[in-house]
Structures are given as structure tokens and as C-alpha cells.
Structure 1
Amino acid sequence: MTMTEAPDKGPFFHGTIADLRVGDFLVAGRRSNYRPEVVMNHIYFTALVDGAGLAAEIAAELTDGDAVPRVYVVEPTGAFENDPNVTDKKYPGNPTRSYRSSAPLKVIGEITHWTRLTPEALQLWRERLTALRSDQRGEIIN
């Protein structure tokens, strides 16, 4: 699906721990936040700011130290498609409004307010991530 054919016109967001500036580009070919041994062929993004916030908070949980979760407003520079990690396996029809692209995403701003995880929800995610790390069968679609 190309940008002009995309059913979702955005705005789009990307959650990360990277400290980026307006005009920077997020690119594929970096290591996964969830499995550092995997180099990703795509860059992922969503049209839901809270979805990007969740991704940022999970990335911060997976990093040693005091990583800061960040959410950026991004603009796709090329074709993108529904994220098969969620649309094909968990949520047919893409209600999460999640996408991926092999083309860079241009950072056009930063969002500082999104619905943060409660301490209880954060603990639940810690437990899920610990289980994922110990399960060698855990899958990342690349």
C-alpha cells in the first residue's frame, strides 16, 4: 500500500527512547528494542499517540539505566503497510492503526503528553517482557 492509497492519513507517531530532533530520520536496519539480536527490516509507527507511548515505555523498560520514553510525530517518506505483527495475528482490520515501512520516517515534532502506564500496568508489562525474553520461541516479524 502506498501513502496515497493508505486508508489512514495520520498524523503518525513513533515511540522510542532515542533523543531525536525535528528533521531527523528514523530508518530501518537498526536492532529491535525487543530482541537486540534482530536487525529490523522495517520502521514501525502508529496513528495512535497512546500506542506510540506504550512502545516508548516498553523500550525504556528494556533498557538498562534511566532511559526516557519519547513519542515523535513522524511523516512517512515512502510506501507503508499494515503492521502484520498486530493486524494479521491479533487484530484483523488494524484497529491499532499500526504500520511499517522500509522507507525512513521524518521526525516533524515531539509529543510530551500521552496516557502513561499505571504502576500496576507497568509491572504487568515487566512480567510479560521477562517471559518473552526467556521464551526462545517468541517471534518478531521482520
Structure 2
Amino acid sequence: MFNDTPSGKGPFYHGTKAELQIGDLLTPGGSSNYQAGLKMNHIYFTALINGAGLAASLAKSDGPERVYIVEPTGTFENDPNVTDKKFPGNPTRSYRSESPLKIVGEVKDWKKTADEEVQKWREKLDSNKGEIIN
């Protein structure tokens, strides 16, 4: 059974290639980076800077990778796409919310994922036949 009680506290991060400003809100409803044609009902974030960096690397855009510090504006839950479905507990410290995330800063000194590792993740995601819990 999925445990939706968040297992951690911030700070929280969101990785993207979008250029955003402090005070901007990230909202659900965007296209999935992991499944073509899927509109997301949640906005995703993590408490791990490098996890957000990997998400930025995998984002569908040609822009530079960015990691933003975010604050949830409403309730959130553990991300069921990785929590208990793929990893017991929440070791990835991944979360999602139906409420917006507010941009409160940008991290400039995070460790970028090596190109070879990003390619391995892309291949893994391309071959993944699992369904996204939206």
C-alpha cells in the first residue's frame, strides 16, 4: 500500500530548463518529461539537489539546466512513481503536489550529472513500460 505521508522536510528543489524568477509559481498541468502526450496533474520536487539536477538534465528542452529552491504552497505527498513502487520508503526524497510551488531561489553550484549517466537514464526511461501514477 502506498504511504502518502511526506517523509521529509525541506529545503526543496525543482529541476528544469525553464528560466524562472523568484516569486514565480510552478503549477501542475505541464507535459510529462517521461511519457509522451501525458499532461501532469501534479508538480514534482525533491529534497535532493542532485536529484533536481538530474530532472533538469532530463527535461524536454534545449535550454540550460537549472535547479530552483521551491516552497510548496499547499499540501504534498511522497511521489508514488518512485516511493514504494520502485524504492521502499522514500530514499529519493521525491514529492508531488496539486498546489503550486513558489520559486524562492536558484542553486548555482549543484553537481551536474555526467552526459553518459543522463544518456543511461534516457534509455532506461525510453524502455520503461510502467505506467505513471498521475
The residue identity in structure 2 corresponding to 1:21 is Q
Cα deviation 1:74-130 (Å, max 9, x = unaligned): 000000000001112111210111101000000000112222122321332232244
How do 1:7-86 residues align onto structure 2 when only pairs under 5 Å count? 7-59=7-59, 62-63=60-61, 66-86=62-82
CA RMSD of aligned residues (A): 2.1
The structural deviation recorded for 1:6 is: 4.7
1:92 matches 2:88: yes
Does the CA-based 8 Å contact 2:7-2:93 persist in structure 1? Answer: no
The alpha carbon displacement at 1:7 in A equals 4.2
Question: Deviating runs (4+, > 6 A) in structure 1?
Answer: none
- Any stretches of 5+ residues in structure 1 without a counterpart? none
Structure 1 121/67 Cα, relative in aligned 2: closer, same or farther at 3 Å? Answer: same
Q: How high is the sequence identity, in percent, across the aligned residues?
A: 60
Distance in 2, matches of 1:102 and 1:28, equals 6
Using the TM superposition, give the Cα deviation of residue 10 of structure 1 relative to its aligned residue in structure 2, in angstroms.
0.3
Q: Normalising by structure 2, what TM-score?
A: 0.87
Residue 112 (str. 1) matches residue 113 (str. 2): no
The two structures have a TM-score, normalised by structure 1, of: 0.83
Greater fraction helix: 1
Structure 1 pair 130/90, CA: closer, same or farther in 2 (3 Å)? Answer: closer
Gaps of 5+ in 2: none
CA distance in 2, matches of 1:111, 1:120: 23
- Bigger radius of gyration: 1
Number of positions where the alignment pairs a residue of Structure 1 with one of Structure 2? 132
Aligned residue type for 1:121: E
Q: 1 CA distance for matches of 2:14 and 2:37?
A: 21
